[in-house]
Amino acid sequence: MPAPGAPLFQAAAANLNPWTEAKVGTGNPDRGPLLIISGEKDHTVPWAIANASYKQQKDDQAITEIVEIRGRGHALTIDSGWREVADTALEFVKRFV
């Protein structure tokens, strides 16, 4: 599908450009609740990375939670067992709607 390449280049250079649009805005008091879902067997974004993201956000006034789904890898929503991931996310959303 044709699409602008700018977001790809911004994401690729995010660590080199401190003013990038791809930078995560931590400390934003207006953000909504955040749920970080990690797979126990995820080697692409392992627990240490997901947990570091959680720690970066948890001190905000907004709610931040983290969940590890046992026995799952990186493809949380496209592998068998996706319903457990969807149910986890849905239960989180229901608490705030």
31 within domain boundaries: yes
Question: Would you say 60 and 26 are in contact if contact means Cβ atoms under 8 Å apart?
Answer: yes
Predicted model pTM: 0.76
47 within domain boundaries: yes
Confidence of residue 1 (pLDDT cuts 50, 70, 90): low
Q: Please compute Rg for the chain using Cα positions.
A: 15
19 within domain boundaries: no
Q: Please tell me the total count of domains within the chain.
A: 1
pLDDT (tens digit per residue) in 3-41 = 677 777 777 777 777 777 766 667 777 888 999 999 999
| CATH number, residue 55 | 3.40.50.11320
36 within domain boundaries: yes
Helices (H), the chain: 6-12, 47-57, 82-94
